[in-house]
Chains A and B, each alone.
Chain A
């Protein structure tokens, strides 16, 4: 029988249609149909200047917008050759807001994953905690989800006065909440039974399909671009890269991918604390500090092409630029969304599974359709 799942089914996380060929309760084949959300990011980018495109990058992965603009901005700065001149305080603020946003994005992934499996409370708890981050980032940028905060050569604005203290309060509040969440969900036998040994993704398949981020690390490969490429302030910060270990079942199953996200939240909390330390002690706020000082007047990189990659919350986020050297508009701007590649492996790992397990597999991929369709 041919079954349609979506584009409205809640487990499809937005607008995705899956065509299922089923035999009773068993899914024989999955054919994803995308494009319901396509808003022509590349077409926009090729008709607007580099600076004007930053709000559009926010809309790609709207759950972790800061990470998107960070990668875009880094790429342009490197093409202009000003990436070494960015003040340390700016770099640390960028990492701080990116990691806060990564925590928020993983909280959504975990919360909605709980609700996919049938647990409602984790969803409420995760959204409650995420709301605090949204509040902090709104205070920074003036906007709730689409920040447009990281600019080429600097930031839209310095951190508001008192932000560091408020952020510390949040971290103190947040740490015990993660313990509670683990007690409720991670150690829950029903949750383990639903996710362990389900949707197993071997490492070689993951690499061949271009999976990255928690998808790839869940299969046991320590591959984090924050460590591999050592961009921004990450080389000076101390954090681990969690990988799946197959604790509850086979390596690379849904539980492993879930656990990698939980562990990454703890690592991001560590990064946020270190950033706050540096920002409050060595790189203090001074009245004459202008985060826009390095902002170039005219952004015209010389003729070249460049591929920048960075670790978004879902995986390797890449932008490929071709600059012609004359105009302020990129000649070609291709974006490589991690969710696009992560989703493409779905037909491979969802063969001969139960329909209910398919929901668990889809949730464990944690894709955002804004990034699949762009």
Chain B
């Protein structure tokens, strides 16, 4: 299936509002999905016999910078039977100063591998995933403050009173 056919398939299944945009300039085209429907889109792409995107290669949280005020998640799917790759993107506006973390829906019910990937995105970028079974920090200690991959993160000088060199 080509990129356009996948687009039409999703639009036919969920309506026109589900795809909010697309990026075609780069080497790999990407679909921008409406954030709330990401779980349904992933399940449809995985289960539909025309696509079978059964392998979640990578899930990356992205902080688009302080000025843009946006956070996003990028999904790289692969279809093993059809040897295809597809990039899905969801973004959300977020004001960094507010008390709540930017929140997305968790796809760990569709792809079990997303479990750890989402924990990593939460740990390093401070992205919250609704519906995740066990959202804890994965790489950093539980009591670490801040999210190191956010663009305005200030490197910690002390951890539990110990100077970090």
Contacts and interface: CB of A to CB of B under 8 A. Distances in A.
Interface string A328-347: 00011010100011001000
Interface stretch (B5-13, B98-106, B109-117): B109-117
A43 interface: yes
A208 B27 contact: no
Given A34-B139, A35-B138, A309-B57, A304 B25 contact: yes
Interface in B101-141: 111-113, 115-116, 124, 137-141
B91 to A, nearest CB: 12
B34 interface: no
Interface residues of B, number: 33
A223 B80 contact: yes
B80 A207 contact: yes
Contact of A210 (B26, B56, B65, B74): B56
B97 to A, nearest CB: 22
B57 A43 contact: no
Contact of B116 (A322, A334, A341): A341
B76 A307 contact: yes
Interface in A312-356: 316, 318, 320, 322, 331-332, 334, 336, 340-341, 344, 348
B120 to A, nearest CB: 8
A320 B60 contact: yes
Given A35-B138, A320-B74, A334 B148 contact: no
Nearest to A324: B65
A234 to B, nearest CB: 15
Nearest to A305: B26
A interface, size bucket: 35 or more
A320 B27 contact: no
A290 interface: no
A179 interface: no
Contacts of A46: 149
B111 A307 contact: no
Contacts of A79: 27
A128 interface: no
Contacts of A1: none
Contacts, number: 80
B62 interface: yes
Nearest to A203: B80
B55 interface: yes
Nearest to B144: A35
A334 B60 contact: yes
- Considering residues B26, B62, B124, B141, which has the most beta carbons from chain A within 10 angstroms of its beta carbon? B26
A342 B121 CA distance: 18
Contact of B62 (A34, A332, A341): A332
B2 interface: no
B21 to A, nearest CB: 14
B55 A207 contact: yes
Given A209-B113, A332-B62, A336-B58, A38 B139 contact: yes
A158 interface: no
A91 interface: no
Interface in A92-109: none
A318 B138 contact: no
A322 B55 CA distance: 22
A42 B111 CA distance: 23
Contacts of A340: 116
19 contacts: A40-B148, A43-B148, A43-B149, A78-B27, A207-B55, A208-B112, A210-B55, A210-B57, A228-B83, A304-B26, A304-B27, A306-B26, A307-B76, A307-B87, A322-B62, A336-B57, A340-B116, A344-B113, A344-B115
A-B CB proximity, top 5 nearest: A210-B113, A304-B26, A334-B60, A336-B58, A35-B139
Interface of A: 34-35, 38, 40, 42-43, 46, 78-79, 207-210, 221, 223, 228, 304-307, 309, 316, 318, 320, 322, 331-332, 334, 336, 340-341, 344, 348, 373-374
